[in-house]
Amino acid sequence: MISKLEILPNEIFINILSYLTWDEILISLWSLNKRINSIICLIFTIKKNGITFNYPGLSYQKISEILLPLIFKSSLLCSSIKYIHLNGNYSNSYDLIDRYFFYNKDKESFCFPNLKSLNITQFLLSKSLIEILSLLVQYQLNELKLIYSENEYRPFAYQYKHSSFIFNKKNLMVMFEKFLCQIFSGQCQLISLQLDISQSNSLIHQCLKSHSLNLSSNKIDDLNQLNCLTLRYLHICIQYTYFLEHLIEHVPNLERLTVRFQHSLKPSDESYSNIEKLTTSNESWFNKVPKLKCFILKTRIFNDLEFIYLKWLLNNVNHIEKLQISLIGQEIWRNDQIIWKSVIDANFIRQYCLPDKIINLIDFDFYIRSKRQLSLIDIEKIQNSFQIDSFFIKHQWTNVRCFYDENKSYQHLFSFTQNKSECLYMLTKYRCIDNWPNIRCIQLNFHPSLYLFLEQFDELCPNVSSIMVRPENYTYESMITEPLTISFEMGQRSLNDIRLENVTKLQFGSCCSCSSGMYCLLFFLLTKNEAKSLF
């Protein structure tokens, strides 16, 4: 009996095609037969990988002359695509949106009617791009990711006379400011937004200030127009604290907020001039974001004023259920760094890294890196401080580890738990599945507690044969990977219990490829010959 490829079930086909990039799938298999076409459309429908432009090896010519014409010939294929990613790191081809993504020049009919998620990284501002994004956030998209880099202007500055270039850039900045105001208003239907404007100037960060002043109106219709009522999940990378303070006025239904500061938690000038009021303020954001359940903050802390601002910020969100903070300290040498000179232990965490009033908080996760000298006795005392503190015992937050890097004189203090619920937190693809033994392929975040999960892996997931290790969602790699890196590099964990007996395929996310902690894990697995296939 001759076996035919067509007898394989759809699940096997989908698994096979997962080894190919989207362009390879379309060029090699599209139009082979109706069943293969339906499977390809199914892949674009059920998987959030969609089509990714501008990755290495995929040329602009190949996209514009082969792939896009192939896609546009099939309305079924166009309708199946729900996710598009444009990466400006590799080439400036955002004119693809303007030239190919609309059926007519008036931009009245979009070629991808079911597109719900758009990811644009390191983008170069243009009038056309802003106009298109303005339409998409208002009528089309549920998810948007924007990473803006002001440095993208520099290579093109020499193509224009200085005065005209400055004029053009100024006009684009005004348009971009208006677009940001639109995102946080009733003219936006986004549910999830990732916005990185950490490379932009202070004027961009102030764009919501005048927008916030209009909230004095008592008319419900006016308030609905000024607020984005659909936004639930927000991840922002910014420079200035006032952008956060202004936008919180416009997102009343926000459930999850992640904030990363590019440099440090430097308060605005108004906060500097009114430091006593800030210290004693009991202001709460409960009335502004009453549905907020999770708050994640990643920043550097330079001085005592920034710690005071951090405390004010935490007190504003004291109604949340989940809190995660990552703090990076600098070398202590100034007079305004008294707080950093304190012993960083349970008392420090309670005093400076938690709200004064704990209301609904269930999950608390933290990572702190500071410059100091520690002995083995000091490390033991720091870890024991959490074991004997009544507050941390009551909330069951005693599982804390302290590592010391003698070469760089860094203390790394972070929390984790070994229970199944924490392990489930690291599973990004199967969060709602309780029947773990049936799982065969999983994706794990590069979290500080990863090695603890791997120690229990064979017991929890005995049938898993494929693992993808990737950076934690919505995090900046260095802040989340460093404690795990330290634990592997310094040999302070016994890795002999990590077997992964049935794993035959191990994939590493590209963002983690340069992490020394990942290299240590990879070297360990290779020496034990656990993974038969590495990508």
In this prediction, residue 164 carries a pLDDT of: 44
Query: Is 126's pLDDT higher than 50?
Result: yes
Q: Please tell me the distance from the alpha carbon of residue 244 to that of residue 208, in angstroms, as a whole number.
A: 9
CA 523 to the chain's CA centroid: 27
Interhelix angle 22-29/34-46, rounded to 10 degrees, is: 170
Structure confidence at residue 284 (pLDDT): 80
β-pairing, 505-508 vs 400-405, is: unpaired
Per-residue confidence (pLDDT) for residue 237, from 0 to 100: 93
Mean of pLDDT values over 10-25 = 86
Q: Is the pLDDT of residue 1 over 60?
A: no
Please give the Cα distance from 277 to 158 (Å, whole number).
48
Mean pLDDT, to the nearest integer, of 65-84? 89
Confidence of residue 450 (pLDDT cuts 50, 70, 90): low
Per-residue pLDDT of 85-121, as tens digits, reads 887 665 555 566 766 677 666 666 788 889 999 988 8
483 pLDDT more than 60:
no
3 state DSSP class of 142: coil
Q: What is the tens place of the pLDDT at every residue in 333-358?
A: 888 889 999 999 999 999 999 999 99
What is the rounded CA–CA span in Å between residue 194 and residue 192? 7
Q: Are 444 and 427 in contact (CB under 8 A)?
A: yes
Query: For residue 258, what pLDDT is reported?
Result: 95
**pLDDT digits 0-9 by tens, 438-447:** 567 777 766 5
pLDDT bucket at 273, cuts 50 / 70 / 90: low
Q: What is the mean pLDDT of residues 402-416?
A: 85
- Report pLDDT for 17: 85
* In the chain, domain spans: 1-73, 435-534
* Neighbour count for residue 16 (Cβ, 10 Å): 12
pLDDT for residue 277 is more than 90: no
Classify burial at 140, counting beta carbons within 10 Å of its beta carbon; exposed 0-12, middle 13-18, buried 19 or more: middle
Q: Which residues contact 110 (CB under 8 A, 6 or more apart)?
A: 101, 102, 103, 136, 140
pLDDT score of 474 more than 50: no
Quote the pTM value. Answer: 0.77
Share of the chain above pLDDT 70, in %: 67
The pLDDT-based confidence of 232 (bands split at 50, 70, 90) is: very high
Percent of the chain with pLDDT over 90: 31
**pLDDT attached to residue 339:** 92
